[in-house]
């Protein structure tokens, strides 16, 4: 078996490895990422081949091109391979590639999950929608700051129909008025972009069976359902709900020695977008009056726990429900308890 490590960049990649039986080494520097150059480079290498490359912006696309040339090709997370604080040796592409090949031959590497092209499109969609919302919020705050800097107190939302009419009436210096006009035009563009992405997300979520199932949970809309669908991908990756919760980073750091154990802050090591929608769900539960097990737990613990602690607890419970419904292929089926009314007895 030929074990190869690949140090990947945007324009080229470096290959370094060895044949485990004979010990013969193989090295190729700066192979162009184009399919023709890849085919020519691998034509001279013996087979079967086993390879590993680091996760990066173009790792998934390059994996699809390189996979036919390998019997097994995995993508590994860099933070699971390198410890640059302890490694004082010189860092070069060739050294990194050879180190990957050695670790692969010793069976020390575990590949990360690779979404297919459909899931990758869904990830781009939800992340683009989230970025558009963040850009809109940032621009809105800049508009409010500009207005307040000239002494105008914004008592109502300045970006509603009445607010936009009010903005046209206030008197600002010519240059400032032009800046405000440009900012409002950018805001209109962002709002249209956000609405378009939202419509595509809704259409996708309403046609995907898993998304439809997740939307039966109260306070879960198309955006949250699609984020769960494309970021989790395959629920079988997680043997239990605890594994899914740990993947989102909603677990505390643990410091244990002998009989002493201490818990620290949340690790926040994992999928940040899943963590975001889980906490967003908890926030909606706290604001919503709908009678659900999540709301009942919030009402029960509201006076004895901190608000942030409650959000984390509800987010974990939510992910547990998602894992159970998805793995068991069941919809939300919480029966609302009947209200028992006590009547006064007549003597």
Question: Domain map of the chain by residue range?
Answer: 2-105, 117-207, 222-328
User: Which residue do the tokens 């699971």 mark?
Assistant: 80
User: Which residue do the tokens 């092209």 mark?
Assistant: 117
What whole-number distance in Å separates Cα of residue 27 and Cα of residue 29? 7
What whole-number distance in Å separates Cα of residue 51 and Cα of residue 72? 6
Can you give the pTM of this predicted structure? 0.83
Q: In sequence order, what are the beta bridge partners of 263? A: 254
- List per-residue pLDDT tens for the chain, 347 residues long: 899 999 988 888 899 999 988 888 988 888 898 888 998 888 888 888 999 998 888 889 899 989 999 999 999 988 778 776 666 667 788 888 898 999 999 888 888 889 989 999 999 999 999 999 999 999 999 998 998 898 887 766 777 888 888 888 888 899 999 999 999 999 999 999 999 999 999 999 999 999 999 999 999 999 999 999 999 999 999 999 999 999 999 988 888 887 788 888 888 888 999 999 999 999 999 998 888 999 999 999 988 888 889 999 999 999 999 999 999 999 998 665 444 455 554 44
Do 201 and 222 form a contact (C-beta atoms < 8 A)? yes
Residue 84: predicted pLDDT: 60
Residue 88: predicted pLDDT: 61
Of 159, 18, 40, the C-alpha closest to 100 is 18
Q: CATH assignment of 2-105, given 3.30.420.140, 2.60.40.10, 3.10.20.30, 3.40.50.970?
A: 3.30.420.140
Residue 78: predicted pLDDT: 84
CA triplet 238, 241, 245: central angle to 5 degrees? 90
């Amino acid at each position: 078996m030929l074990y190869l490590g690949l140090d990947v960049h945007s324009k080229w990649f470096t290959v370094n490895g060895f044949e485990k039986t004979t010990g013969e080494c193989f090295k190729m520097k700066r192979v162009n990422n184009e399919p023709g150059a890849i085919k020519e480079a691998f034509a001279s290498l013996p087979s079967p081949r086993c390879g590993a490359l680091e996760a990066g912006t173009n790792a998934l696309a390059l994996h699809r091109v390189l996979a036919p040339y390998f019997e097994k090709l995995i993508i590994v997370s860099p933070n699971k391979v390198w410890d640059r604080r302890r490694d004082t040796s010189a860092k070069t592409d060739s050294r990194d590639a050879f180190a990957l090949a050695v670790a692969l031959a010793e069976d020390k590497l575990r590949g990360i999950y690779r979404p297919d092209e459909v899931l990758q499109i869904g990830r781009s969609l939800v992340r683009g929608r989230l970025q558009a919302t963040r850009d809109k919020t940032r621009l809105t705050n800049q508009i409010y700051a500009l207005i307040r800097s000239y002494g105008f107190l914004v008592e109502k939302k300045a970006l509603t129909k009445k607010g936009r009419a009010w903005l046209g009436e206030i008197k600002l210096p010519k240059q400032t008025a032009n800046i405000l006009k440009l900012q409002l035009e950018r805001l209109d563009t962002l709002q249209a972009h956000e609405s378009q992405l939202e419509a595509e997300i809704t259409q996708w979520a309403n046609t995907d069976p898993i998304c439809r199932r997740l939307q039966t949970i109260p306070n879960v809309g198309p955006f949250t359902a699609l984020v769960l669908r494309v970021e989790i991908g395959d629920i079988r990756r997680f043997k239990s709900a605890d594994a899914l919760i740990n993947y989102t980073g909603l677990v505390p750091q643990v410091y244990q020695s002998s009989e002493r154990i201490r818990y620290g802050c949340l690790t926040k090591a994992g999928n940040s977008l899943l963590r975001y929608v889980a906490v967003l769900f908890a926030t909606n539960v706290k604001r919503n009056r709908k009678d659900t097990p999540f709301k009942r737990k919030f009402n029960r613990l509201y006076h004895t726990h901190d608000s942030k602690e409650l959000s984390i607890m509800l987010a974990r419970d939510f992910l547990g429900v998602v894992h159970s419904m998805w793995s068991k292929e069941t919809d939300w089926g919480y029966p609302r308890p009947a209200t028992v009314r006590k009547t006064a007895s007549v003597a």
